[in-house]
Structures are given as structure tokens and as C-alpha cells.
Structure 1
Amino acid sequence: MQPVRIKLLSLLVLSPLALSAPFVHAQASQLPPGTSDPDQTSAAQQSAAPQSTDGPLANIESEIEQKHFDQARTQLDQYLATHPDDARALFDRGYCDDAEDKGDQALAWYRKAVAADPKQFEAQMALGLALADQNSTDEAVKALQAAVALEPNPPNPAAKAQAYRTLARLLAKSDPDDARDALLAALKLTQETPEDTLLTASIAEAEDDPTVAEQAYRQVLKAQPEDGTAIAGLAHLLISEKKFDEATPLVHSALLRDPDDPALNAQYAALLAAQGKGDEATATLEKLHTLKPQDRQVSQMLADAYVSAGALDKADALYAALLSASPNDPDLLSARGQLLIGEQKYAEALPLFQQAVKLAPQDADAWSGVAFAASKTGNPTLELDALAARSKLAPETPATYFLWATAHDHLHHTKQAVEYYRLFLSASQGKLPDEEWQAKQRLALLSK
């Protein structure tokens, strides 16, 4: 009997941003929230820095505008000692730390500023961007939604557009409709950029609208023919639609320009695999793994390619390395357990599946792994317990009916064994011929 498949290991058809850098502040991540790059002139990058006022913070904000952050920080600390609830000063203090990449300290100040005055746009926006930078997506979305409901003081359309754009990026996968609305709101305030068009494509993909996504990618490539993200995105769409003839020259020409680009190599491997060129796909993934040896997704992709090629020992080595770095990851535990089953190392696979279900008790596939490994190691009681846990999470299959039957058979539960052998034969209908022959033989003996 073939082992119960735990999860599809193939990750070859990547989303266009699968290998991109983690989400960062805004369009200019090296700068504090909303500030401009002096070498850029687009409206979306105009300054949202603290503006000088006629109040007690005027001199301090003048220092900030001149990037004299140490002097501003010292003066702000003195001011806040006697005005601890001044929301503007708290924001300015966080801004000074943010400008010098002191993210944790800045975040704490931004929280204080919002607590002191939740109606201050600048603090809400800065808090949202800082949380997004730390991948605290849910909190970031709440802060940015609060920000876009407010108005900057003084008015700053570019800063508000930046808040809308960041909100759109955060919601692109989880809530594409709201993401689209946020992006449209940004475009009412500032001109469209190539990054906006790419985001449009990402949102369209999340809404299962490949036509709009393809149009957006092609629009970017018309203006910027060598844009790697647009190439990867368009290639992803073409591969998913099996338009290999269109995808091949696109990816190949991009690789000629940049042979070591990880995203392009991943797309090329996906293209080769989709065309049944397993050896070439594996070679490309091996190159990609050399470029990104610590990248989990790349390692899993290469492991899956090794599985397809029958090189289970190589795949197992990759999963062993991944588990060394993340020993409590239930998906990795199940994946390696499946590999060990493929190598008929059932006793080694069983504890991996058992650890996986402790960490993820709602994973029906992991319970299937426990049951199958238990059946192969002669532990029918554990096998029945695992099958009972699985049955609460997923419907039975011919394979699980057979496991129920053989476990009861080994425990001499004749009535139950006969019942499950019959259920298995009714469900299998020629899908598992070897097991069907065994079931018929056991039924004949048990019925005597």
C-alpha cells in the first residue's frame, strides 16, 4: 500500500513576490516614516516629517528638519519630563529614533503618542508603518485605518497617500477588495507609480482576476522591460495558464541579463518542472539553493524536486537541516516524516508525526501519518487512536478504511474488521488492487 500523502510538497509554481524582501516601511525603507529621499522628486515621497510650528516645539522641530537628531532628542527628553502627555512631542521623539533605525524605541514612542492623542494623523501613520516593518500586520492595519480616517496637520496629501498605499499592501492577500479601495484612494491624492501598478496586479491575482493582473504586469514591462518583479509575476500567470511558449522567452531573456536573480531562477525552475523537464528543474533549484542556502522555501522546493527524482536521501538531508533550524515546525515534521515513510524508515517517521500532532492537533494529514507509521511498526492500538482523531477532522478515504480494518484485524476485533474491510472494498473500486486482494482474502477467512 502506498503511504498516505501528508502534504503536497511541490512549491514550484511561485507567486511573483515569493522570494522578495520582507515588507518594510514605505517606499523608501531606509528613511523614517514619510520622509523623502533628496534624490527623488515624486509626490509620494514628499516629506511628512514634523513641521515647525509657532509653539514650544518650533525650535526642536527645526533641529529635526536639519537632521540634528541628537540635539532634538536631548531637547525633547527635557520637554517631555514636564509635558509627558504632549502627543506631538512624543511623536517627534519617536521620529528621531526612527530616523536612526532604532525601530523598537521608535515604536514605543509612537504608541505613547497615539495613546496621548488618537486623533493625530502623524502618530497613527507612523505607528502603522513601524508595526508593518515588524510584521505585526493586524495591529498595523488598525493603526493605518485610523490614520486614513484623519487629516495631516498641516495638510500633506503625499503622506496620506503613503498611509493608503501601505494599507493596500498589507491587505492585498487577506482582503483584496479593501486593498483595491485603499490603492484607489491613494491614487486620488498622488500620481500612479510602477509600484502601484505591480500592487494592482497582486490584488487582481488575489481576486482571481488574471486578466487584470496580466494587463498590469505588461503595463509595467512596457515602461520598464527589465523589471524583475513584473517579469516574475507575468511568468507566474502564464505558467499557471499553461502558456509555456509565452513564459519561456520572457524568463530566459531575463536570466540572460541577471543569471543569479533568485526570483527569476525560481520561475525558471517552475517552468521547467511544468514542462516535465525534471533534471533541468533540479539543476536550477540546486543553483538557487547555493544562492540562498538559508531560504526555507527554496530548500523545500529543492527537496520536492529530489523526491520527484527519487533522491529521497538528498531530500531528507534538506529537511533535516530545516528542522535543525525550526525543530517545532509541524509542517516540516510532517514533511520529513513522509520522506522517511518513502524510505521505509517507519520507526523514525512515527515520532516525527507524533510531535507534529502535538503541535498541530487539527492537522488531519499528520494524524494520517501517525496511523500509517503505527500500522507499519506493529502498533494497532496507536493506529486506531490516530484514526479516531483524524476522523473528527476529515472524511474517511479508501486508505483510512483499510487501516481501520487491518488494525481491528490485528487486535482480533472480528466484527469491526469485517465491517471496515467491506467499507474499504466499497470505496476503493479498483484504486488499490493489492489491498483489495488482501481484504477479500481476509473477509473469506473471517467469515468462516
Structure 2
Amino acid sequence: MRILAAALLLSLPAVAQMDLPPGTTSTVPQQQTAPSASQATLAKAEDAIANGKYADAVTLLTPLATETQTNARVFYDLGFAHDALNQDADAAAAYAKSIALKNDDAGAHVSLGLLYARMGETAKAQEQLRSATKIEGAGRDLLARAWRALAELDLKSNPEMARNDLLSALKYAPETPDDAASAAEIAEAMGDDAAAEQAYTHAFSLNPASVDVAMGYARTLTRQKKFVQADQVLTSALAQHPGNHALIAERASEQLLQGKPEAAVPALESLHTNEPGNVAVAMLLARAYSAAGAPEKAEPIYTALLKTSPDDVTLMTEAADTLIRLRRSPEAEPLLQKAVSQPDKFPSKTALAQAAGELAFAASANKDAATVLKALAIRQPLAPSSPPFTFLEASAHDTLHHTKQAADAYRQFLSESGGKYPDQEWQAQQRLQILTRTR
């Protein structure tokens, strides 16, 4: 879908729409010109647009775009020219005026919808594009374009709807490699790895040179633990794009997921040297250092990143984890407290649960029993119980003289541990004897 986004939403309007030039795509009849509009001036403006002279077209059309102008074509052409000059607000106003005068002009709805999409006005973009799809007699190419753009817009919020949008687009136009890539991303967003793998296989066969397709394909294979196939895909892509930084970073990311941080470090170090300002690469390198048992190398990277993004909860969590590994829990605890105080900023419940768990361990190391229990209360509804966290809970209650709660938690820990934590099991048994005698 990143390919589709580039084609539909991020390209310059002149490139995206010149195959549908003003004067040929608008359904407004040529003769529908208000008495005050000059046909000669309009013709000159459209000639300027056809030759890429958009500023000249704006100069010619602006005097015609009066409050009393009733020719929708004038406003459509003016919107197109402003659009090509990236004058978004003026373009949107002109397109809207054109639609107000001629609501069944599908081309104007599509142009305004694509403009809104580029501006980040998703709801407005969807409204205009869906309006275009409902206009009787709209051209097949316009309908396909509208449905494809809707698929892009719906992907994150409603992947099932995005799939239906794409299927609608294919009713009006043959499948393209971009469509195949979009279908794969939609399946991935729906969490159907088997369908995503099948779709990426098809997309990769249609466009084996696509960097985005290769990366999506490799990610899907890695999630299914098909590590050899994932590496083959990335190797093939790198053979066609030697030195491509995105592919190198993706391969390193896959190696981290496969538990091979040592293999990822050299490539990431090289990338970080070449692109010191690339935040994604810096984070990957910090993760690789930490996973490879070199938290002392990760810590300065996280410190630098936090200076520019102090409220990034993912950064705070990972930086704190590194500090814990360096036995610097007093520094880690406030970072984690700040992170978990913003639960809505976490990318997933799993990520929030992990941060809360890190906070519990940091607070325990700092002998902050009250914070341990607060952290575990955040984690409890988000992740399954496990012996280490049950032991932390028992110890925290014990420290706070919550006798009954401590005894119950020690018993639960002993029932869960199964001999895997001999030191803690011995301590739990000793504390249980003392606690039950106290009672």
C-alpha cells in the first residue's frame, strides 16, 4: 500500500492528474459559460495548464472566479492549477466551488478527495471520494482511482473495508502490481499471515524489484518463523538494489527478530555512521547492542534519542530496560513511571504490559514496594501471570506488611514455579513459614 500511497496521494498533482487534463475530464459542458466569463481567457488558461504553466493559469483564471461566476469549469481549472503549485488551501476552495456549481462532476470530487488525502484530512477525503463512486455515468478510470484511494485511506482504520474498496476498484480496471501490493498490505493489516504470504508471493512475482514489497514479504515470512525464505527474499532484493539502506535495515531488523543481534550489529553500525540522524536506524542499533549483551553501547544512543523525543513511550521503555541491564535502576524507574502514565501512547497493550513489568522490576530493585504493586496492577489485565511477577508481588506485599496478601502470593508463586527458580522458591518457603507463624 506504500506504493499505492506514493502513486495516488504523495505525488505532485500535475503528475497524478495530467492524464485527466482540465477541459477533457470535467463533465461540465463547454457551452455552460456565464455571460461574464471570457471563453478566450478560459481557453488560454487551459492551454497554459496543458503546457505546465500553472502560475500563468492562476493569473488568467483568478479574475474569472468571481462570486457571480456560474461556470464550474472555471473553478475546476483554477483548483487544478493551484493543486499543481501545491497551494492546497486555494486549490481546495476552488474545487469545492466547482462541486457546489456542478455536484455530479466526478472528476472534481476525485481531485478534491485526493487533495484532502494529501493534506491529511482523511474524513473529508473519504467523503469526496465516496461521493465520486456514487455518481452515475462516472468514467471507469475515475471510479477505479477513487476506490484505490479509498483503499489506501481505509487501510489503517478498517482493513476489511480497504479490501472491499480494492475489490471495487478492480471491477473498473485491470489489476496492477500496485494493486497486488495493496492486497498484500491489507491482508497483513487484517492479521491474516497466511493470506498475506500468498498475496505477497503474487505481488513479488509481479514486481520483484519493489523494495516495499520485498520488505513486507520478508516481515510476513518472519512472523511465521520462515526465516530462510525471508532471508532469500531480502537477498534477492538486495541483489537488485545493492546498498539500499531500507533493505539493509530491514534485514538487520529480521535478524534481531530471529535472535541474531550479533549478525545485525555490523550493518547497523555502518548505516548509523552514514545516517546519524536516522532515528529508526539508531533505535535498531541500540536494540541490537542491548540484545547482544552490550547495553553500555546502547545507553548513549537512547540518551541522545530521548533528548529529541522525550515523550516517546517506546524510547523511554527501551532506554529504561538498558539502564536496568546496567544496574542503574534508580534512573530507569522515573522513565518507566512517565511512560506508563501515558497508556494511550503505547502502540499495543502488549507494549504497555512490558513497560509495566519493567517498572515492577526497577521499583523492586529500588526497594519501592508501593510502586511495584502499582506497576503490577497495570500489567495484570494485559498479560498472563508468570512466576517472576508473582514473586515480585509477594515480596512487595511482604515488605509492606500485607501478611495475608503476601502469603497468598507466595503460595501462588510456588504453584507456578515448578522448580525453575530454586533460590526464590527457598525464600518463598521460608517467608511462608514466618508469615503463617505470625498469624
TM-score by length of 1: 0.79
Query: What is the deviation of 1:354?
Result: 1.6
After TM superposition, the structure 1 stretch with the greater mean CA deviation from structure 2, 71-80 or 252-261, is 71-80
After TM superposition, the structure 1 stretch with the greater mean CA deviation from structure 2, 386-395 or 160-169, is 386-395
State the alpha-carbon separation in 2 of the partners of residues 426 and 416 from structure 1. 15
The aligned counterpart of 1:251 is 234
Query: What is the deviation of 1:63?
Result: 0.8
1:268-279 aligned at under 5 Å gives the runs: 268-270=251-253, 272-273=255-256, 277-279=260-262
Whether 1:405 and 2:387 are equivalent positions in the alignment is no
Query: What is the deviation of 1:256?
Result: 3.2
**CA shift in 2, pair 1:280/1:383, >3 Å:** closer
After TM superposition, the structure 1 stretch with the greater mean CA deviation from structure 2, 206-215 or 337-346, is 206-215
SS at match of 1:66: helix
Question: Match of 1:306, as an amino acid?
Answer: Y
Give the structure with the higher percent helix: 2
The aligned counterpart of 1:12 is none
Q: Is the 8 A contact 2:22 2:46 kept in 1?
A: no
Whether 1:444 and 2:429 are equivalent positions in the alignment is no
State the alpha-carbon separation in 2 of the partners of residues 284 and 204 from structure 1. 30
Whether 1:35 and 2:20 are equivalent positions in the alignment is no
Q: Is the 8 A contact 2:204 2:210 kept in 1?
A: yes
The aligned counterpart of 1:340 is 323
Q: Unpaired segments of 5 or more residues in structure 1?
A: 1-16, 37-44
State the alpha-carbon separation in 1 of the partners of residues 311 and 101 from structure 2. 40
The aligned counterpart of 1:194 is 177
The aligned counterpart of 2:54 is 69
Q: Unpaired segments of 5 or more residues in structure 2?
A: none
Q: 1:183 aligns with which of 150, 166, 177?
A: 166
State the alpha-carbon separation in 2 of the partners of residues 240 and 61 from structure 1. 57
The aligned counterpart of 1:42 is none
Q: What's the C-alpha RMSD, in Å, of the aligned pairs? A: 3.6
State the alpha-carbon separation in 2 of the partners of residues 101 and 306 from structure 1. 43
Q: Is the 8 A contact 2:221 2:230 kept in 1?
A: yes
Question: Match of 1:145, as an amino acid?
Answer: R
State the alpha-carbon separation in 1 of the partners of residues 99 and 309 from structure 2. 36
Question: Match of 1:63, as an amino acid?
Answer: A
1:94-133 aligned at under 5 Å gives the runs: 94-107=79-92, 109-110=94-95, 120-133=105-118
SS at match of 1:98: helix
**CA shift in 2, pair 1:227/1:374, >3 Å:** closer
Query: What is the deviation of 1:310?
Result: 0.8
Query: What is the deviation of 1:21?
Result: 8.0
State the alpha-carbon separation in 2 of the partners of residues 150 and 61 from structure 1. 27
State the alpha-carbon separation in 2 of the partners of residues 435 and 85 from structure 1. 83
Q: Is the 8 A contact 1:34 1:159 kept in 2?
A: no
The aligned counterpart of 2:409 is 420
State the alpha-carbon separation in 1 of the partners of residues 231 and 383 from structure 2. 40
**CA shift in 2, pair 1:205/1:370, >3 Å:** closer
| Deviation sequence 1:386-443 (CA, Å, 0-9, x none) | 4445446556543333223222222233333223222322333334333222211222
Q: Is the 8 A contact 2:4 2:182 kept in 1?
A: no
Query: What is the deviation of 1:309?
Result: 0.4
State the alpha-carbon separation in 2 of the partners of residues 302 and 91 from structure 1. 50
Alignment size in residue pairs = 420
The aligned counterpart of 1:143 is 128
Q: 1:381 aligns with which of 351, 354, 370?
A: 370
Whether 1:263 and 2:252 are equivalent positions in the alignment is no
SS at match of 2:293: coil
Q: Is the 8 A contact 1:34 1:47 kept in 2?
A: no
State the alpha-carbon separation in 2 of the partners of residues 392 and 292 from structure 1. 40
Query: What is the deviation of 1:355?
Result: 1.3
**CA shift in 2, pair 1:242/1:367, >3 Å:** closer
Q: 1:301 aligns with which of 278, 284, 298?
A: 284
Q: Is the 8 A contact 1:299 1:318 kept in 2?
A: yes
**CA shift in 2, pair 1:335/1:271, >3 Å:** closer
Query: What is the deviation of 1:291?
Result: 5.0
State the alpha-carbon separation in 2 of the partners of residues 294 and 115 from structure 1. 46
